[in-house]
Structure 1
Amino acid sequence: MKKIIVLLFLSVVSFAVNAQELKSPNGKQVMTFSLLKDGTPTYQLSYNGKEVVKPSKLGFELKNDKQSLLDGFVIEKIETNTFNETWKPVWGEVKEIVNHYNELAVTLLQKVTNRKMVVRFRLYNEGLGFRYEFPEQKDLVYFVIKEERTQFAMTGDHTAFWIPGDYDTQEYDYTESKLSEIRSLFKNAVTSNASQEQFSETGVQTALMMKTADGLYINLHEAALIDYSLMSLNLDDKKFVFQSWLTPDSKGNKGNLQAPCHSPWRTVMVSNDAREILASKLTLNLNDPCKIEDTSWIKPVKYVGVWWEMITGKSSWAYTDDLPSVQLGVTDYSKTKPNGKHGATTKHVKELIDFAALHGFDAVLVEGWNEGWEDWFGHEKDYVFDFVTPYPDFDVKGIHQYAASKGIKMIMHHETSGSVRNYERHMDTAYRFMKDNGYDAVKSGYVGNILPIGEHHYSQWINNHYLYAVKKAADYKIMVNAHEAVRPTGICRTYPNLIGNESARGTEFQAFGGSKPNHVTILPFTRLIGGPMDYTPGIFEMDIDKLNPDNHSHVNSTLANQLALYVTMYSPLQMAADLPENYNRFLDAFQFIKDVAVDWDDSKYLEAEPGKYITVARKAKGTQNWFIGNVNGITKRTSKIKLDFLEKGKKYKATIYADAKDAHYKTNPQAYIISEKTVSNKSELTLTSAPGGGYAISIIEVK
């Protein structure tokens, strides 16, 4: 159902001399646009009568242009409308999404240059989206952005959950601090990564989550990042004003545009209830509708794979230790000695296929199957992989046939080593190879510095590459799970074959020294605002030295917390990341991973406080079954939840996987209790979560 109504009522827009006021459909959000005396465009935002964003400037500084798009504007035209539709995602947290907003489009004329720029605002009940549009015009055709000058002026020294602004990685632990403390904490917040470059000691990344002293939750982000560079934020920590900071290309340019064109949406979500931030679909709604006509081949996936054993150092991606370097097409692997640690062997992969089939999983991911891993990283090497040549101990066709006989799909792995040109050189051949051998999904990777030399992971040209890969994959009916790529901004609505992304500090860092135990209580407020994450949960053995005696890292989570992640960290792509032998030790707890859904008809956020706790209930697609997950921060907490979302008059069997009384993420992570009880929509549950702990509940209808 779709409904569009054009309005020119004062309830939507009121006209002062040069000020226009826009209200959200429920009237709680109010945005005001105005021009300063020098013609500088500004906006401000309030919520329930409280100022959220103080008057903030808009505009662009252009390169090699005497007159930038910053001031000297007059209002040429005002357009308004209300839009209300309900649409169905291909996969998602809910079956239907309401897209309801009031809109104001202000056409600005810069008299001295005769250039036009439109600022389009969409105000939802949960917040604001706005973007810049450049109509076709003879006085502005090709232009280069030196910097976008969008401001977000905060009203005070808010508490923020932030990671360092970086052109190449988001793989940082979050720091909770006042805005005024970012500068002093910045150096400690920067940890090593395969590729990284920070731009300022007050630079932070979006989605940025904040909380005001009077209890408002504010989230700054962007939506529909297409043909543009990623936006970070640089803070004036004296005035508490954020300014957009775009990722440069190899020349230092922030964007090369040709009118007609537009920027991504800049978003400001605000609520007095943290749960509303998590439930918001504003980011998705600001993206274009699905452009793939037949989506029947796009299916949520629960998988296992050859991955965690490599991350921990138990196994290796490389086939041999004999080679000082590799040149594809020249190196003869038949003359080398296998190192005995290679994980992607035919025998081992068949064992994983058997495990997946036995326990009802959909697919198996294999990494390190192809030639070239012996010197893949650190050399800024262009021709790294060809994505089609397997190692001698990996039988592609035999594994395809074996997996098909067991009803299991295979997931391909394409590591580019940051060599974007090489990937595009081989992409069609690689995708055809996948389809010929029964692979319907690919996990791509961009570890290391980007090639061509000087480019960054989040610059305009590289962002275009990521989307090119997704669109090309759709031509072959292939789903994409991109790691180390740009963080998502809701593009999965338009191209739902983008079924997952990493783009944040995932489970692998638990094997690299560990992440903070409250990390997973922040990610849904930050990284997941733009789309689902392939977080790879489900680790049952927390002491890594039991897999690899040389690795003394510890997974900072209880086992019950790991189960809860399948609900709290929404993704249509979920991995049971641990080794089969560890699941076999805890088969009663493993049952939850087997049972939990990966696609949903409904989601209810029951409790939420960033950095402290999140409790989510989700209804499995096409059933009356619900699953609940709670993840807890560093302080032990008792959670009280009502099950009033269950259907009236029906009874359900609840299986509760909870922390034991003496559970603790550091000292006793595998202490859990499983209990069962009959529940209804009148039931209430009281459960205690350990530090770094949580609980998971399956609620199955009793028929």
Structure 2
Amino acid sequence: MRLQLKLLIVLLGVIPMITIAQSMKHHIQLSSPDKKLEVMIDENNEGNIVYSFRADGQLLIAQSKLGLDTIGNLIWKNVTHASVKKTWKPVWGKRKEVPDVYNEAIIHLAAYKLNVRVYNNGMAFRYEGTSTEKELTQFNFAGNYTAWYYNGENHNLGPEKLQEADAIRKPVMTIKAGENSYMAVHEADLKSGEPLLLQPQKGTTLMSVPSRHANAWRVVMYGRTPGELVDSHLIELLNPEPAAGSDFSWVKPGIAVWDWRINGAVANGFRYDMSLPSWKRMIDFASANGMHSLVLDADWYGPEFKKESDPVKGGKVDQVHQIIAYGKEKGVGVWLYLNDVGGNAYPLEETLQQYGNWGAAGVKYGFMKGSFEEKNRRTQRITELCAQNHLMVDFHDGPVHPYGQMRTWPNAVTREFCHAQLDARRVFQPKTFVTSVFVNMLAGPIDMNNGTLDMLQQGRIDNPMPVPSTITAEVARTLITFSGATIIPDIPENYNKHPQLLQFISAQKMPWQESKTLSGVIGEYIVMARKAADGNWLIAAATNENARTIRIPLSILEKGKYEALVIQDGKDADFRTNKETYVTATQKVTNRQFIEVQLAPGGGACILLQKK
């Protein structure tokens, strides 16, 4: 006899477990609200809790261990069930409204609780109520699928067959299980403990969790296309909403200009550097084009790695006061850089309070030290302190991976969970972009610093190397990359040379009303559509090293007539030899039509659709 608990579409209730002999097994079947995904939880013959995962009738994760290595692991007390149907309205994000719909089972064991949720686009589980060190979690994939993984500030690992993995892998782990079946493994709401790692057993399709138990959701996202993974909100939804009474109306997502990569550029006899005259030119440009902010990078308060550099009194602090005031006159906020040297050598609370009192818009925090568990605690503290002082925050230089913080803390607008395009005297290749958007970006908003229009970067102080893409791909990437602060890295003169490309960037008015990945193949290409705050639609496409023709349907549009500005690579464009050739055209379209674009090797296309 087996005890089978079926999901009840009713109000939250408690179902007491029937008293049975110790030899009897337990079984729970939990389906998604649309009945297309299914999780089975059992006690197997070896006395372990195991689960399996099916999607669209296909077994994707075979029986895999769950639980914690603790006394009372298998003493089942009762099970509670719930069905939830809500709507989340984020301060900013990929869309203005997000369905929050799932079925849940909470297994009450003697030592802790096992919480399992199934959404229409994935499943998640969490262990609650114990601080035990060892986690038994496994992902025993049902086939030798192809996978890609986060790889720090380098090109992603993969494509790699699961049986070939021979060392610890870091999430996000994106998996192709079939032509119409994709998964991604990550975590959400990492309150404490070690960030998720994945330990393969070479020659098998089994991944275990070697890190100590963390108070986090283990998440398996699911999509029938890789684009459905990109568009998912599952990671955010597994985080709590802001505390009651919180006000984040001051958070203003949008395009930001940046002083780091302008350093050394010369235009019309003016040499840009990281000081007040250059900052004013950047503020003027941002204001004229409806951009929200200017980001000041390192050394404004003195040499960034010297403990003597005082983050509230040192260096160009007087110039910073002036540029913040100047920005306020022009309606442009100013972000301030701070790294862990200054953040530790001086009282952090006082420093961030001072930045808030000065009227800064945000903080770019760099080079945090410590283990990833320690860095996660510090990241949480800094994010909360920034929120208290009405500061947005961007973490750089090996940050802890995003895990949905933007829901609880909407001021956590982006972080460098990627290889920023021209960072550290490295340049990523076109394949890097069209892989990382399907891997890294599934975790949350990322700061990739796309949008350079000086394709040779001559005269720059930092990394004066050619940009390995086309000029249209550079602009397309600014839309495709999801971030609450899209930080573009070039000087005003280079954008003003290309008014239609600048028009496309300036039209990226956030918060987005809607976003949809129209098509894409991991490592090959992606086509993204976003509806701006003013109602205009923007579409962008980017490819790897291969040229391709893409036919883009316009069915996402509402009824009516639109004027489409189409910008695409020129006939002989190539990211290696002819980066700056592009062609533009305007045409009248409706949602029953399509637009065909030609992408050069390493190229892209941009489409701005304005309703008439």
Q: Give the structure-1-normalised TM-score.
A: 0.79
Secondary structure at the residue paired with 2:198? Answer: strand
Cα contact 1:41–1:71 (8 A) shared by 2? no
Identify the match of residue 443 of structure 2 among 530, 555, 565: 530
Structure 1 residue 290: deviation in Å?
Answer: 2.0
Residue deviations 1:295-329, cap 9 Å, x none?
Answer: 2211113211211135xx769xxxxxxxxxxxxxx
Q: How does 1:329-340 map to 2 (within 5 A)?
A: none
In the alignment, what sits opposite 2:347?
Answer: 426
Structure 1 residue 207: deviation in Å?
Answer: 1.1
In the alignment, what sits opposite 1:329?
Answer: none
Cα contact 1:384–1:416 (8 A) shared by 2? no
Amino acid at match of 1:637: R
In the alignment of these two chains, the number of paired residues is 592
Distance in 2 of aligned mates of 1:533 and 1:32: 34
Q: Out of 124-133 and 425-434, give the one that drifted further.
A: 425-434
Distance in 1 of aligned mates of 2:308 and 2:222: 45
Structure 1 residue 118: deviation in Å?
Answer: 1.3
Secondary structure at the residue paired with 1:208? Answer: strand
Residue deviations 1:590-648, cap 9 Å, x none?
Answer: 22112222321112221122111111111112x33111111112221111121122221
In the alignment, what sits opposite 1:355?
Answer: 285
Residue deviations 1:563-599, cap 9 Å, x none?
Answer: 1122211222112211223223333322211222232
Distance in 2 of aligned mates of 1:392 and 1:74: 63
Secondary structure at the residue paired with 1:299? Answer: coil
In the alignment, what sits opposite 1:491?
Answer: 405
In the alignment, what sits opposite 1:6?
Answer: 11
Distance in 2 of aligned mates of 1:440 and 1:546: 30
Q: How does 1:260-339 map to 2 (within 5 A)?
A: 263-291=215-243, 293-310=246-263
The 3 A distance-change label for structure 1 pair 127 and 384 is farther
Secondary structure at the residue paired with 1:230? Answer: coil
In the alignment, does 2:310 pair up with 1:401? no
Structure 1 residue 342: deviation in Å?
Answer: 9.2
Amino acid at match of 2:328: A
Distance in 2 of aligned mates of 1:127 and 1:404: 44
Structure 1 residue 392: deviation in Å?
Answer: 5.1
In the alignment, what sits opposite 2:141?
Answer: 154
Cα contact 1:203–1:235 (8 A) shared by 2? yes
Residue deviations 1:49-73, cap 9 Å, x none?
Answer: 111111111233xxxxxxx328861
Distance in 1 of aligned mates of 2:60 and 2:308: 49
In the alignment, what sits opposite 2:531?
Answer: 619
Q: Give the structure-2-normalised TM-score.
A: 0.90
In the alignment, what sits opposite 1:500?
Answer: 414
Structure 1 residue 344: deviation in Å?
Answer: 2.3
Q: Out of 384-393 and 405-414, give the one that drifted further.
A: 384-393
In the alignment, what sits opposite 2:175?
Answer: 210
Distance in 1 of aligned mates of 2:13 and 2:572: 62
In the alignment, does 2:39 pair up with 1:125? no
In the alignment, does 2:21 pair up with 1:91? no
Secondary structure at the residue paired with 1:600? Answer: coil
Distance in 1 of aligned mates of 2:516 and 2:530: 6
Cα contact 1:415–1:445 (8 A) shared by 2? yes
Residue deviations 1:36-94, cap 9 Å, x none?
Answer: 2342211110111111111111233xxxxxxx328861322111111110120001111
Q: How does 1:145-224 map to 2 (within 5 A)?
A: 145=133, 147-164=134-151, 170-180=152-162, 182-183=164-165, 201-213=166-178, 215-224=180-189
The 3 A distance-change label for structure 1 pair 9 and 640 is farther
In the alignment, what sits opposite 2:517?
Answer: 605
Cα contact 2:32–2:102 (8 A) shared by 1? yes
Q: Name the % identity.
A: 27
Structure 1 residue 233: deviation in Å?
Answer: 0.8
Amino acid at match of 1:616: M
Structure 1 residue 275: deviation in Å?
Answer: 2.4
Return 5+ residue gaps in structure 1 as ranges.
61-67, 110-115, 135-139, 165-169, 184-200, 247-253, 256-261, 316-339, 377-382
The 3 A distance-change label for structure 1 pair 157 and 428 is same
Cα contact 1:502–1:533 (8 A) shared by 2? yes
Distance in 1 of aligned mates of 2:331 and 2:177: 52
The 3 A distance-change label for structure 1 pair 236 and 117 is same
The 3 A distance-change label for structure 1 pair 375 and 129 is closer
In the alignment, what sits opposite 2:425?
Answer: 512
In the alignment, what sits opposite 2:5?
Answer: none
Cα contact 1:182–1:202 (8 A) shared by 2? no
Return 5+ residue gaps in structure 2 as ranges.
1-8
Amino acid at match of 1:487: H
Structure 1 residue 516: deviation in Å?
Answer: 2.3
Distance in 2 of aligned mates of 1:435 and 1:421: 18
In the alignment, what sits opposite 2:584?
Answer: 674
The 3 A distance-change label for structure 1 pair 541 and 276 is same
Q: Out of 432-441 and 676-685, give the one that drifted further.
A: 432-441
RMSD value, Cα:
2.7
Residue deviations 1:411-444, cap 9 Å, x none?
Answer: 1111224x7643xx52222223223322121111
Structure 1 residue 122: deviation in Å?
Answer: 0.3
Distance in 2 of aligned mates of 1:420 and 1:429: 10
Cα contact 2:302–2:314 (8 A) shared by 1? no
The 3 A distance-change label for structure 1 pair 488 and 355 is same
Structure 1 residue 522: deviation in Å?
Answer: 2.1
